[in-house]
Structure 1
Amino acid sequence: MEVGDVREVTTGSCSDIYYLDTGMYETSEYGAVYIIDDERPAVVDTGIGTNLDLLEDALAEVGIERDDLEVIAVTHIHLDHAGGAGFLAREHPNADVYVHGIGVDHLVDPSQLVAGTKNAVGDQWEYYVEPLSIPAERVVPIEDGDVIDLGAHELVVHAAPGHAPHQVVFEDPTNDAVFVADAAGIWVPEVEMIRETSPPSQFDLEQCLDDLETLKELDPDVFLYPHFGPRFVGDDAEQALEEYATVLTEWVAAVEAKRDELADDEAVIDHFATSGAMDDVWGEEKSSAEAAMNARGVLGYLEHRS
């Protein structure tokens, strides 16, 4: 899939869902935004914000006009998911932004969010844009158990705070699908591999594992990953989630072991940043930055745990 491509999700029995490759970090098949074409059209996650033109083109291609968009649902406020929410809300005056209650103030005044993002992503900040503030009256707080009615479809909110306390996943029962946010890891379709995501500063391994239990209980046929794309799991949903539990647990153990060996956090980060684990898929720059960010997140978790 190339940057800017829009495809209909036909995985499983899905209907009325489309996804856009936003070209996040100038990398294809890394960042996806989902569009639901329903009585109340919706966008799930928005990307960084630099992809606004691509998203506007995608909405037009699907047939959703400026005044028709009603729902901007963000799984959490990390700027690779919510950075474009203010820009999208500005262009679509009838759309409200739905976000976990913890995240409301940060979308209204994103200054602390920007500072935290700069600290978390380091040099990758060059790919971001300063987010726009969203008027408070257009931000709708959501919590576990809430339902966003779109018409033929609904988004059922389930808390998933391991990756970040403001993260939720959205269940679409009609499609037997779940917009999994970062709760189920990063899906790499090119190599059909699941990768860890453990960014600073609020990553919590035990809670992440609990979130996987939440997803097991939902037992969908389809995972809709923001990183990246739809994945059919069918009767193997539990196995897929167990696989990620193993990946994440082994990743944390590897960082902890290297920390014990080197006794220098920066050396630990450098070690994983130069591992080249995903160079062939994402390119050396993105692969290195991703590994460094995830290592920092684990190191923060280990420090907090101790």
Structure 2
Amino acid sequence: MTPGDVTDVEQCPGVSYVDTGMYDTAEYGSVYVIDADRPAIVDTGIGTNYERILHALDEQGIAPDDLEAILVTHVHLDHTGGAGFLAAECPNADVYVHEIGARHLVDPERLVAGTKEAVGDQWQYYTEPKPVPEDRIVELEGGDAIDLGSRELTAHHAPGHAPHQVVFEDHSCDAVFTADAAGIWVPSQDRVRETSPPPNFDLEQCIDDVELIRRLDPDVLLYAHFGPGPDDTDAVLKQYEQVLRDWVDAVKYEVVERGGEEAAIDHFAASTEVAEVWGDHKASAETAMNVRGVLRYLKTQEE
């Protein structure tokens, strides 16, 4: 796919996704459109090029005034940066978010500051988010049902990646919108990759979240990064558990081997295997951020 392309999810009739071109990178950020009695989207991208999401709605015959639900998996800005812009364009859509993250959509100042600290010079790809009006927010707890009329979704709390993260289970087609709880699916490499950004990455809770998704026994995993996953969902979830464990062990080893944290960060950033897919800058910056997340997690384990 290339940025702006819209594709149907074969395993899930009525669901399509658009490549948002996040970070000026193809096949990294996807936003899903759910064609239902009450039309919805899942996640909103980083705020740049949100017109591509409006185009995806148009491709499904959904006018902006007809969109009724903007479902955000968590409030990291690569998932909610477009929420305020889309809420303004789609005046009849409420924004559904876990209760822990709701205040950050209404007043994103602290969220922006934390994002700038976490992503470093990747901030150049973002735009300042637009606040979501408080009366448009619907706060979610784990287990809450979202009634879209012709289909129903359940929000499951999955706080390992971030305390405000949920995954959405679509009962009509046994799909799970995975947020970042199942890792990053890299279609061109046919593999799942770690995501462990600061400040909230927690290895044990992340593994619990993977187990949660496995218990839901989905037929398809719908990744925010990127697109539908492989047919064997159980195998890729088991694989991701091992990816996480190996990743944390590798960071611990390289800190010792290279004599310090910064040297370990530089090592991983220079040797990432996704540079050929995402480009050198995005791949190295993403990897460095993930290393910093593991280092922060390891410090909390020592305390």
CA–CA distance in 2 between the matches of 1:277 and 1:190?
12
CA–CA distance in 1 between the matches of 2:174 and 2:235?
17
Of residues 278, 281, 288, the one that matches 2:284 is 288
CA–CA distance in 1 between the matches of 2:191 and 2:170?
24
Matches within 5 A, 1:107-118: 107-118=105-116
Residue of structure 1 equivalent to 2:3: 3
Matches within 5 A, 1:10-21: 10=10, 12=11, 14-21=12-19
1:222–1:232 Cα contact (<8 Å) kept: yes
2:50–2:86 Cα contact (<8 Å) kept: yes
User: What does the per-residue CA deviation read over 1:121-157, in whole Å, with 9 as the maximum and x for residues that have no partner?
Assistant: 1110000001011111111100111011111211101
Q: One-letter code of the match for 2:258?
A: L
Secondary structure in 2 aligned to 1:102? coil
Residue of structure 2 equivalent to 1:208: 206
CA–CA distance in 1 between the matches of 2:33 and 2:169?
14
Secondary structure in 2 aligned to 1:199? coil
Q: TM-score, normalised by structure 2?
A: 0.98
Structure 1 residue 300 displacement after superposition: 0.5
CA–CA distance in 2 between the matches of 1:126 and 1:106?
21
Q: Give the share of equivalent positions with the same residue, in percent.
A: 62
Matches within 5 A, 1:23-42: 23-42=21-40
Q: One-letter code of the match for 1:300?
A: R
Residue of structure 1 equivalent to 2:234: 238
2:183–2:193 Cα contact (<8 Å) kept: yes
CA–CA distance in 1 between the matches of 2:36 and 2:69?
10
CA–CA distance in 2 between the matches of 1:17 and 1:92?
19
Matches within 5 A, 1:125-274: 125-233=123-231, 236-274=232-270
CA–CA distance in 2 between the matches of 1:263 and 1:103?
37
Secondary structure in 2 aligned to 1:145? coil
2:157–2:167 Cα contact (<8 Å) kept: yes
Matches within 5 A, 1:21-100: 21-100=19-98
CA–CA distance in 2 between the matches of 1:133 and 1:193?
36
CA–CA distance in 2 between the matches of 1:18 and 1:304?
40
1:221–1:232 Cα contact (<8 Å) kept: no
Number of equivalenced pairs: 302
Q: TM-score, normalised by structure 1?
A: 0.97
Secondary structure in 2 aligned to 1:137? helix
Structure 1 residue 283 displacement after superposition: 1.1
CA–CA distance in 2 between the matches of 1:276 and 1:255?
13
Residue of structure 2 equivalent to 1:276: 272
Structure 1 residue 264 displacement after superposition: 2.1
Q: One-letter code of the match for 1:278?
A: V
Q: One-letter code of the match for 2:264?
A: V
Structure 1 residue 66 displacement after superposition: 1.9
CA–CA distance in 1 between the matches of 2:110 and 2:296?
19
Structure 1 residue 279 displacement after superposition: 1.2
Structure 1 residue 286 displacement after superposition: 1.1
For structure 1, the 5+ residue unaligned runs are: none
2:230–2:236 Cα contact (<8 Å) kept: no
